[in-house]
Each structure stands twice: as C-alpha cells, then as structure tokens.
C-alpha cells in the first residue's frame, strides 16, 4: 500500500518537475509553420532525417501545429468513441422522429383494417342485378364466352358493355379472393370448376351473378368436407361463418331463394362438435340432404 | 487535369468525421465540414493544387481538413489567449479551455468534444478538469472583448506582449495551480522564495526531448507510445526520458527548488 503511494507520489513529482521545466524553457525564435505537405509527410513519417529535425523543432515550439500533428497522428488508430451527444431539438433529428411516427401510425392503421376482404367487398361493391342484365340485353350465352387466362377473367374483344365489364371485374376479384382462401383452407379446385360454377344439383350455372356461384361453391365445400370427414374446428367454423354471411345477403331471384332454403337446411346440419363420430353422423345427414336434392332434380 | 472535386468528395467521410470530432455531433460540425469543402474549393482548388505528390493525397487532405477546421473555429469564435497555467498543463486543459471559454459549450458538451479528441483520457477525468478549470477562471465563457481575429495571430499566440509584472504574476499563478493540481495539495501555497527561484530556472531542451515531455506529461501518453509517435523504440524512449529527468533534477538542485517540491510532497 505504501509502495503504491510512493509510486504515485513519485509520478506526480516527475510530472510537476517536467511541466515546470517545459514552462521555464526559454523560447527562441519560432520558425514559420510547416506547409501542408511537410505536415502530411511528418504525420506519415516518410520524411528524411533533416526534414524530421526541422519538423520537431517547429512542433516543439508551436502549440497550434503540435496539436494538429498530435490529433492527426493519434486519431488514425482510434475510431470515433461512443457516447456522442444527440441534440434532440435539431431539425434533422425532428425530421427523423417525425418520419418514424408517420411509419408507426401507418402500421397501426394497417393492422386495424379488416383483413377478410370477401364479405366487406361483397357488401360494398354494386352487384349487377338481373334487371340490369335484361336492360343490357345480354344473353347468358354471351356471358359464357368469358375467358379465364392466367387466373384472371378477360372479356372477349368487341363486347365492351358496362355489364360485362362489371361481371369481368367481379369475376376477377372473386377469382383472386377465392384463390387466396382456398390456398389456406382447402385444396384448390380445378380451373374448370371455378369457371363453370355448380348448383346444388350439379347443374351448371354459367356466369350467373355471384350469389348462386358462391352458394354452389359453399355447398361444394361442405360436400368435400363431409366426404373427407374433416374434424378441424377451423374448417367447420369457416363454413358456418361464410354460410351465414351468404344468407345475410339480399335474395337475387326465385331460383336462388329455392337453393338458399336447401342451403340453410344444410347449414343447420353442419357439425358443432368436431370429434369423428359427430362429424360422421352430421355429414351423413348432409350428404343425404344433398342426394335427395339431386334425386328431385 | 486532376479532378480535385472528385478526389475531395472521396474524402468526404473523413472530413465529416473530423468535423464531428472537433465540434461534437451537431449542426456546428455540419457547418464546419461544409466550410472545409468551401476552403478546399477556394480559388479553383488552390490549396490542393499545391500538392506535389511526396505524401499520400489522403494524408494531405487530412492535414488540410484539420487546418481548415481550426480556421473555421477561429473565424467563428475569435481567440482568447489561455492563461500560462492552462498552456503548461496542456492536453485536455487546452482543449477544455477552448471548448468552454471560447466556443462556450456547456460542460457536458465540452466533455464529450474533448473526449473525442483526446483518445487516452477518461471522461470522469475530463469532467473533473472542466469543473476545476471553471472554478479557477470564473469569467470563462463571458465575452471579454479581447478575443482577436485570426489575422492578428502569430503561431497560435496573440501578438500582444505581456508586461514583466504580468508575466511574473502569471508564473506565480501557474506554479501555484501546478502544485495544487498535480500534487493534490489544495491548501498549500508555494512560498515567495520558491517563485523567485523558479524564475531563475533556465533549461534548454532539445526539440525531441520537449516533444517527449509534452506527449508524456501533457497528453498523458505512456513513454513507449510517445516514443513510437516520435519514431523511437521503447528502449530509446525510456533511455531518453531517464536522461531528461536526471537533467531537470540536477537543474532543480542547482537552484534549490527541489526542496520546495519535497516540502509540497510531505504530508
């Protein structure tokens, strides 16, 4: 302990003596400051012995050049230290903070948007009624000519009616949304099936407005679920949910109403318990209902 | 035809870093970096055109940057001659004096700026020094009207001469603070006799010796590190240091100031 104190004492004494010597040193005439290149050479250590002596002689007496030399010489080996002051009220910082807040608000708004596009869009978008179809004097045969290319429905050339455009747009949307949902829930249907929608009885309802189309799809899903005896709660909940949404829509026509009545009956039969027995039992009833409907046809 | 603009822009990152080191991470640093660019471009890149190719261009631009940053500081803040005791202590004391009394930074900012510039000193030590300096220079940072523009400077010092009495007063103050701060004896005062003896001290140091003392005792580098900066091996540096200290001790003994030192060191 006392040895340590002695060393510290000695160091301090040496420092005091050295600084006093530096202060007492009589300055001669200070030579003119080094040129930029001389200083660069001294920093790099590439100059000759004579140039070095000249450089040291100047640096020893010129505080300003000494400080520059020292900072250039020592700075290179040391990266910027951490703990730099951040001025929060600077314009640059404020802009950054503002941008950050804007991004945060955008994300929050996006997260709060409803992510199931089908029901919302169906409710919002105007659907072509049969009356409009009559006014436009477009036969179902013309509508059948609608082509599907690359999962998008494209209208045939030369048939640029308003109704057709709407149908094409809605079909495009439907094709996309159905595709998305089917990717996550069930195996995708063949393209042909998506184009030519099937009624409860299996009769094709080509290009009729979207409700029967969706209804047929929904029934088809139920049928598939029953055949595969699916027991996932998610699957059946989704069936019940989409079924209820479909029946909440206003009726489109008498034909559809009739189909809906059947579908409502099926909806009642959809299993609420998801064990194998319950699903099998309820599915038998559903398939019987569907078979009966087919026989009637 | 050398494309100086392109070559300067290539060094932009370094210029920016140097400005941040010198003035802290703020708008002043940005302004200073732009001033450096303007200074380099002035008179159709006159300062760059003086480059003859002996040193590397990067080093050359670094030297120019350091000098232009100091020019910027001087044109912005003028200059105050630091007291003799601050100059004698050197190192962080000089930088703190400039940051606090000339550039009028707050203590925390000044500490950060000096911490960036002096790579081998703790922040706590710098902070203690800052408060110590403020305690000893009460009017630090107040505009005293004798800041002088750059043109009136000569080798970083003001041209104005001090009278003999002022010089003696400054030396007495320097000795007092030196003993108090380095030897940690705040309550003790150096005697009149000691001051008179010190004024009779005459030491002529070789430039390399002086540089070694400055590096070791003002900038607080180790002897080996200081020797490396001067192009010497650690053995050469230690040998040189031993010789210098022996010479200083002899000189102190000759004028009798060693006893003053011993008295100060006694508990």
What is the C-alpha to C-alpha distance for residues B105 and B112, in angstroms, rounded to an integer? 10
Beta bridge partners of B154: B157
Q: Which of A31, A49, A66 to mutate to test the interface with B (most CBs of B within 10 A)?
A: A66
Q: Do B211 and A16 touch (CB under 8 A)?
A: no
| B156 has a chain A CB within 8 A of its CB | yes
Nearest chain A CA: its distance from B238 CA (Å): 14
**Dihedral angle at the C-alpha atoms of A216, A220, A226, A232, nearest 10 degrees?**
-100
- Cross-chain Cβ contact B21/A26 below 8 Å: no
**Is residue A12 within 8 angstroms of chain B, CB to CB?**
yes
Q: Which residues of A touch B17 (CB under 8 A)?
A: 80
* Best residue in B66, B122, B179 for a mutation probing chain A (most A CBs within 10 Å): B66
Inter-chain contact B184–A12, Cβ cutoff 8 Å?
Answer: yes
Distance CA A118, CA A96 (A): 38
What pLDDT sits at residue B149? 45
Whether B158 has a pLDDT exceeding 80, the answer reads: no
Is the pLDDT score of A170 beyond 70? no
Residue B37: strand, helix, or coil: helix
**Helix extents (H) in A185-230:** 191-195, 210-228
> Quick check: A81 contacting B, CB < 8 Å?
yes
Q: Which is more confidently placed, B163 or A270?
A: A270
> How far is the C-alpha of B162 from the C-alpha of A263, rounded, in Å?
108
A162-184 and A210-228 helices, crossing angle to 10°: 20
Residue B175 to residue B177: CA distance in whole angstroms: 6
More confident residue, A92 or A117: A92
pLDDT in tens, A10-38: 788 788 888 888 888 766 667 788 888 88
> Mind listing the pLDDT tens digit for each residue in B54-109?
888 888 999 999 999 988 988 888 877 888 888 888 888 988 998 888 888 888 88
* pLDDT beyond 60 at A125: no
The answer to whether residues B220 and B121 touch, using CB atoms and an 8 Å cutoff, is yes
Instruction: Tally Cβ neighbours within 10 Å of residue B120.
Output: 13
Q: Is residue B216 very low, low, confident or very high in pLDDT (cuts 50, 70, 90)?
A: very high
A124 or B239: whose pLDDT is higher? B239
Q: Does A31 touch chain B (CB under 8 A)?
A: no
d(CA A15, CA A28): 24
- The encoded tokens of residue A197 equal 């929608």
Res A130: pLDDT: 44
Which residues are paired to A153 by β-bridges?
A148
Q: Does A151 or B56 have the greater pLDDT score?
A: B56
Degrees to nearest 5, angle at CA B266 with A15 and A23: 30
Report the C-alpha gap between A200 and A221 in whole angstroms. Answer: 11
Percent of chain A exceeding pLDDT 90 equals 2
A51 and chain B: CB distance < 8 Å anywhere? no
Interface check for A33 against chain B (CB to CB < 8 A): the answer is yes
Share of chain B above pLDDT 90, in %: 18
From chain B, pick out residues whose CB is under 8 angstroms from the CB of A83.
Answer: 112, 115, 123
Q: How far is A105 from chain B (nearest CA, A)?
A: 28
Stronger pLDDT, A159 or B77, i.e. the higher one? B77
Task: Summarize the confidence of residues A256-283 as an average pLDDT.
Answer: 76
DSSP state of A188: P
Listed in sequence order, the residues at least 6 apart from B203 whose beta carbon sits closer than 8 Å to its beta carbon are: A21, A24, A25, A26, B247, B248, B251
d(CA B76, CA B72): 6
Which residue of A lies nearest to B52 if distances are taken between CA atoms? Answer: A37
Look up tokens 């998801």; give the residue: A274
Q: What is the CA radius of gyration of chain B?
A: 21
Taking 50 as the threshold, does the pLDDT of residue A185 lie above it? no
Which of B 97-136 lie inside 8 A of A, CB atoms? 108-109, 112, 115-117, 119-120, 123
Confidence of residue A148 (pLDDT cuts 50, 70, 90): very low
CB < 8 Å from A in window 17-36 of B: 17-18, 20-21, 24-27
- SS3 state at A248: helix
Q: Mean per-residue pLDDT for A120-129?
A: 49
For the question of whether the overall pTM of this predicted structure is more than 0.90, the answer is: no
Q: What is the mean pLDDT of chain B?
A: 81
Whether pLDDT at B13 is above 80? yes
CA distance A121 to A170: 10
Partners of B14 in the beta sheet? none
């Amino acid at each position: 302990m006392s040895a340590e104190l002695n060393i510290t004492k000695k160091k301090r004494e040496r420092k005091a003596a050295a600084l006093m010597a530096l202060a007492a040193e009589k300055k001669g005439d200070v030579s003119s400051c080094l040129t930029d290149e001389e200083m660069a050479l001294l920093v790099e250590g590439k100059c000759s012995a004579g140039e070095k002596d000249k450089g040291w002689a100047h640096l020893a007496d010129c505080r300003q050049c000494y400080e520059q030399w020292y900072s250039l010489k020592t700075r290179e080996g040391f990266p910027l230290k951490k703990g730099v002051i951040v001025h929060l009220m600077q314009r640059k910082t404020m802009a950054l903070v503002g941008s950050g807040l804007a991004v945060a608000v955008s994300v929050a708004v996006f997260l709060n948007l409803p992510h199931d596009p089908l029901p919302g869009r169906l409710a919002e978008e105007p659907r072509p009624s049969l009356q409009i179809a009559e006014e436009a004097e477009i036969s179902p045969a013309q509508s059948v000519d609608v082509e599907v290319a690359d999962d998008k429905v494209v209208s045939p050339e030369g048939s640029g009616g308003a109704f057709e455009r709407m149908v094409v747009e809605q079909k495009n949307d439907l094709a996309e949304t159905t595709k998305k949902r089917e990717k996550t829930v069930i195996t995708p249907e063949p393209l042909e099936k998506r184009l030519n929608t099937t009624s409860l009885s299996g009769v094709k309802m080509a290009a009729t407005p979207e409700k029967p189309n969706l209804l047929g799809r929904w029934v088809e899903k139920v049928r598939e679920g029953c055949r595969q005896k699916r027991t996932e709660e998610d699957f059946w909940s989704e069936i019940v949910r989409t079924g209820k949404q479909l029946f909440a829509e206003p009726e489109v026509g008498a034909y559809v109403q009739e189909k809906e009545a059947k579908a409502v009956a099926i909806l009642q039969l959809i299993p609420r318990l998801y064990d194998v027995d319950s699903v099998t039992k309820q599915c038998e009833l559903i398939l019987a209902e569907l078979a009966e409907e087919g026989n009637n046809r | 035809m050398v494309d100086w603009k392109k070559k300067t822009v290539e060094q932009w990152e370094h210029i920016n870093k140097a400005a941040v080191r010198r003035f802290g991470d703020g708008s002043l640093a940005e302004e200073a970096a732009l001033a450096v660019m303007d200074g380099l471009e002035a008179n159709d890149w006159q300062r760059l055109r003086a480059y003859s190719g002996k040193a590397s261009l990067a080093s050359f631009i670094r030297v120019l940057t350091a000098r232009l940053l100091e020019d910027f500081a001087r044109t912005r803040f003028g200059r105050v001659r630091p007291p003799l005791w601050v100059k004698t202590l050197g190192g962080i004391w000089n930088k703190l004096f400039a940051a606090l009394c000339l550039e009028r930074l707050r203590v925390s900012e000044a500490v950060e700026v000096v911490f960036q510039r002096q790579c081998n000193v703790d922040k706590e030590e710098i902070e203690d020094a800052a408060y110590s300096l403020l305690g000893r220079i009460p009017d630090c940072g107040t505009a005293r009207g004798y800041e002088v523009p750059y043109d009136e400077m000569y080798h970083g010092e003001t041209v104005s001469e001090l009278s003999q009495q002022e010089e003696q007063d400054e030396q007495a103050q320097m000795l007092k603070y030196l003993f108090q701060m380095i030897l940690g004896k705040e309550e003790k005062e150096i005697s009149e006799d000691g001051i008179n003896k010190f004024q009779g001290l005459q030491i002529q140091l070789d430039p390399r010796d002086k540089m070694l003392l400055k590096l070791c005792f003002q900038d607080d580098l180790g002897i080996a590190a200081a020797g490396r900066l001067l192009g010497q091996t650690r053995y050469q540096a230690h040998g040189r240091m031993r010789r210098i200290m022996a010479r200083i001790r002899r000189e102190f003994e000759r004028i009798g100031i060693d006893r003053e030192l011993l008295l100060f060191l006694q508990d």
